[in-house]
Amino acid sequence: MNVLGQETSPPTSLAPALSKGEGETTIDVSKLSAGVYFVQVVGEKERWVGKFVKE
């Protein structure tokens, strides 16, 4: 979602791409407009939110 709280694309599950407790994935942001966005990663026991700027 962007800083206005608007969803920019449907939520995507990365579960098939990751093994429990490990893994790495790439998210294609090439179609997003320039701006500030947040990424949320939810695990079984924790949640992480990160911010990035697309120029």
Pairing of strands 35-42, 47-54: antiparallel
Residues spanned by the domain of 40: 1-11+31-55
42 assigned to some structural domain = yes
23, two tokens: 């893994």
Residue 20 lies in a domain: no
Q: What is the pLDDT of residue 16?
A: 54
Residue 42 belongs to what H/E stretch? strand 35-42
pLDDT value of residue 55: 92
pLDDT value at residue 19: 55
Structural domain includes residue 36: yes
SS3 (DSSP) at 16:
helix
Report the predicted TM-score, pTM, of the whole model to 2 decimal places: 0.58
Residue 43 located in a structural domain? yes
Per-residue pLDDT tens over the stretch 1-55: 667 777 766 555 555 555 555 667 777 788 888 888 888 887 778 888 888 898 9
As for how many domains the chain has, the answer is 1
